[in-house]
């Protein structure tokens, strides 16, 4: 993950989108990027879906994670993506468990400036300058922000007592059975 300590945004000439969410999100994102950066931008895609998004240009390269199974496959894909020299990479963070391990593996391994896009179309850069946004995003995803914070914290506090009760109940049942 390059540029973590810097707010510098590299030029959008080589962009990689990691499609780790619904296809609709990518199809909504791509026209805006093409409109802003035009023909000078080469945009490629990492996906697990068959076919290409409807708004993806025909000259785009599509990397399919299904073609790279296992640890060796992951390393091969990462090496190929590094050789492609992407300056910017976008990750879809849409609260869906699609390519969860892949997206973070690639985010850490790619020497590119990373931006995260959520299901609302909001995005933020993953760098030190946006730490408060990243923290709020993580707290919200974990259920520790807003109205859901109190019930989540309550469940976390009650969890050890619930587990202890279940163990005690199981022990009592097994002891009663053993004493018969």
Coil/strand/helix, residue 140:
helix
pLDDT reported for residue 97: 80
Mean pLDDT of the 64-81 span: 93
CA distance 163 to 106: 37
Cα-to-chain-centroid distance, residue 80: 20
Cα-to-chain-centroid distance, residue 143: 17
Q: Which residue would you say has higher pLDDT here, 72 or 37?
A: 72
pLDDT reported for residue 2: 63
Strand partners for 16: 44, 89
Mean pLDDT of the 96-102 span: 84
- End-to-end alpha carbon distance in the chain: 63
The pLDDT tens digits for 108-144 are: 999 999 988 887 777 888 888 777 777 887 787 777 8
pLDDT reported for residue 32: 87
Residues 6+ apart with CB under 8 A from 4: 126, 127, 128
Coil/strand/helix, residue 90:
strand
> Strands 113-118 and 123-125, how do they pair?
antiparallel
CA distance 101 to 31: 27
Can you point out the beta strands (E) in 48-178?
Answer: 62-64, 88-93, 113-118, 123-125
Cβ 3 vs Cβ 78: under 8 Å: no
The pLDDT tens digits for 13-69 are: 899 999 988 888 888 888 988 898 888 899 999 999 988 999 899 999 999 999 999
């Amino acid at each position: 993950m390059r540029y973590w300590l810097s707010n510098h945004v590299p030029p959008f000439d080589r962009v990689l989108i990691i499609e780790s969410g619904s296809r609709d999100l990518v199809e909504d994102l791509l026209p805006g990027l093409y409109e802003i950066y035009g023909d000078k931008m080469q945009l490629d895609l990492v996906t697990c879906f068959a076919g290409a998004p409807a708004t993806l240009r025909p000259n785009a390269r599509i990397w399919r994670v299904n073609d790279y199974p296992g640890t060796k496959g992951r390393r091969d894909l990462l090496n190929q993506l590094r050789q492609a020299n992407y300056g910017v990479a976008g990750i879809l963070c849409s609260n869906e468990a699609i390519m969860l391990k892949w997206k973070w593996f690639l985010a850490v391994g790619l020497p590119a400036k990373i931006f995260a896009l959520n299901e609302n179309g909001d995005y933020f850069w993953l760098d030190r300058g946006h730490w408060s946004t990243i923290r709020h995003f993580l707290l919200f995803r974990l259920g520790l922000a807003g109205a859901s914070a109190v019930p989540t914290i309550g469940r976390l506090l009650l969890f050890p007592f619930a587990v202890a009760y279940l163990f005690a109940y199981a022990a009592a049942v097994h002891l009663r059975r053993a004493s018969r």
